Structure 1
Amino acid sequence: MLEELDIRNLGPIHEATIAPAPGMTAITGETGAGKSMLLSALSLISGGPADAGRVTTGADEAWTQGIFAVHDDASAASIAHEAGVDAEDGELFLSRTVKAAGRSRAVLGGKSVPKSVLASVAGELVTIHGQAEQLKIASAARQREFLDRAAGDDAELDAYRAAWRALADLDEKLARLRSQESSARQRADYLRESVEHINEIDPHPGEDEDLKAKRDRIENAADIAEGVSRALAALDSSQLEFDSSSDSASASDLLLQAAQALRGIHASGDFNELADRLESLNAELQDVVFTLSGHLDEDFGDADLDTLNARIHELGELTRRWGPTLTDVIAWRDKAAFEIEDLDASPEKLAELESQRADLHHKAVAAADVLSHVRAVAAAQLAHRVTSELESLAMAGASLEIQVSRRDALDANGGDDIAFLFTPYEGSPQLPMGKSASGGELSRLMLALELSAADMHDGQSNHDGADANSDMTFIFDEVDAGVGGKAAAELGKRLARLARTSQVIVVTHLAQVASWADSQFVVTKIPPDADDDAVGVVTTVDEVADDARVHEIARMLSGSESEASLDHARELLKESVL
Structure 2
Amino acid sequence: MLEELEVRNLGPIRAANLALGPGMTAITGETGAGKSMLLSAIQLISGSAASSARVTPGADDAWAQGVFEVMLSGRAARISGEAGLPPQGSGREQASVHGPRRVALRSGANLDVADDAGVGEDTTGELFLSRQVPASGRSRAILDGHTVPQALLGEVSGELVTIHGQADQMRMASPARQREFLDAVADCERESEAYTKAWDALQAADAQLKKIMTQESGVRARADYLRDSIAQIDKVDPKAGEDVELKERRSRIENAEEIATGVGSALMALDSSQVALDSDGDADGASAVDLINRAVDSLRSIRVEGGFDDAADRLESINTDLADVVYTLSGRMNEVEDAGSLDSINLRIHELDELMRRWGPELSDVITWREKAGYEVEDLDASPQKVEELKAKRAELFDAAVEAAEQLSVKRAAAASDLAVSVTRELGQLAMGGARFEIRVVRRQHGGSDAHSLAVDPASTEPGLRREEGATGFRLDPLDAHGMDDIEFLFTPFPGSPQLPMGKSASGGELSRLMLALELSAASRRQVVNTDMTFIFDEVDAGVGGKAAVELGKRLAQLARTSQVIVVTHLPQVASWADAQFVVSKGGVRERGVSDSGGTNAATETVVPAAEGSVGRSGVETTVTKVEGEARVREIARMLSGAESKTSLDHARELLAASNL
The yes-or-no answer on 1:359 pairing with 2:409 is no
- Whole-Å separation in 2 of the counterparts to 1:561 and 1:64: 34
2:241 to 190, 206, 218: 206
Tell me the equivalent position of 2:418: 381
- Assess if the C-alpha contact under 8 Å between 1:229 and 1:240 holds in 2: no
Residue 128 of structure 2 aligns to a residue whose secondary structure is strand
Tell me the equivalent position of 2:567: 506
1:445 to 508, 514, 518: 514
- Structure 2 vs 1, CA of residues 269 and 243 (structure 1 numbering), >3 Å: closer, same or farther? farther
1:11-56 C-alpha deviation (Å, 9 max, x unpaired): 2222222233412111101111111111011001101111222222
- Could you tell me how far 1:205 is from its partner in structure 2? 2.9
Tell me the equivalent position of 1:158: 193
Residue 410 of structure 1 aligns to a residue whose secondary structure is coil
Tell me the equivalent position of 1:561: 644
1:119 to 136, 154, 164: 154
Residue 577 of structure 1 aligns to a residue whose secondary structure is coil
Amino acid at match of 1:551: R
- Assess if the C-alpha contact under 8 Å between 2:252 and 2:336 holds in 1: no
- Could you tell me how far 1:197 is from its partner in structure 2? 3.7
- Assess if the C-alpha contact under 8 Å between 1:51 and 1:102 holds in 2: no
The yes-or-no answer on 1:539 pairing with 2:622 is yes
Tell me the equivalent position of 1:493: 554
Unaligned runs of 5+ in 1: 458-465
Tell me the equivalent position of 1:240: 276
- Structure 2 vs 1, CA of residues 95 and 270 (structure 1 numbering), >3 Å: closer, same or farther? same
Larger RCO (alpha carbons 8 Å, 6+ apart)? 1
- Assess if the C-alpha contact under 8 Å between 2:201 and 2:397 holds in 1: yes
Query: Normalising to structure 1: TM-score of the pair?
Result: 0.88
- Residues 454-473 of structure 1: pairs in structure 2 closer than 5 A: 454-457=523-526, 466-473=527-534
- Whole-Å separation in 1 of the counterparts to 2:300 and 2:428: 143
- Could you tell me how far 1:310 is from its partner in structure 2? 1.6
- Whole-Å separation in 1 of the counterparts to 2:25 and 2:319: 123
1:310 to 341, 347, 354: 347
Tell me the equivalent position of 1:225: 260
Residue 36 of structure 2 aligns to a residue whose secondary structure is helix
Amino acid at match of 1:571: E
The yes-or-no answer on 1:414 pairing with 2:483 is yes
- Assess if the C-alpha contact under 8 Å between 1:27 and 1:507 holds in 2: yes
Between 1:541-550 and 1:52-61, the stretch displaced more is 52-61
Between 1:71-80 and 1:257-266, the stretch displaced more is 257-266
Amino acid at match of 2:512: S
- Whole-Å separation in 2 of the counterparts to 1:272 and 1:497: 125
- Structure 2 vs 1, CA of residues 292 and 161 (structure 1 numbering), >3 Å: closer, same or farther? closer
Query: Normalising to structure 2: TM-score of the pair?
Result: 0.78
- Could you tell me how far 1:421 is from its partner in structure 2? 2.6
Unaligned runs of 5+ in 2: 85-98, 108-123, 445-476, 590-608
* Identity across matched positions, percent: 62
1:188-220 C-alpha deviation (Å, 9 max, x unpaired): 555554444433322333222221111111112
Tell me the equivalent position of 1:3: 3
- Structure 2 vs 1, CA of residues 63 and 268 (structure 1 numbering), >3 Å: closer, same or farther? same
Structure 1 vs Structure 2 CA RMSD: 3.2
Tell me the equivalent position of 1:105: 140
- Could you tell me how far 1:284 is from its partner in structure 2? 4.8
- Assess if the C-alpha contact under 8 Å between 2:253 and 2:338 holds in 1: no
- Residues 70-469 of structure 1: pairs in structure 2 closer than 5 A: 70-84=70-84, 85-86=99-100, 87=103, 88-89=106-107, 90=124, 91-175=126-210, 189-235=224-270, 239-240=275-276, 243-244=279-280, 248-252=284-288, 253=290, 284-285=321-322, 287-298=324-335, 300-301=337-338, 303-320=340-357, 325-327=362-364, 329-334=366-371, 336-338=373-375, 340-341=377-378, 344-345=381-382, 347-395=384-432, 397-407=434-444, 408-457=477-526, 466-469=527-530
Tell me the equivalent position of 1:462: none
Amino acid at match of 1:62: A
1:538-577 C-alpha deviation (Å, 9 max, x unpaired): 2111111221111111110111111111111112222222
Tell me the equivalent position of 1:460: none
- Structure 2 vs 1, CA of residues 561 and 310 (structure 1 numbering), >3 Å: closer, same or farther? same
- Whole-Å separation in 2 of the counterparts to 1:257 and 1:454: 122
Report which of the two has the higher share of helix. Answer: 1
- Whole-Å separation in 2 of the counterparts to 1:170 and 1:52: 48
The yes-or-no answer on 1:478 pairing with 2:529 is no
- Whole-Å separation in 2 of the counterparts to 1:426 and 1:533: 56
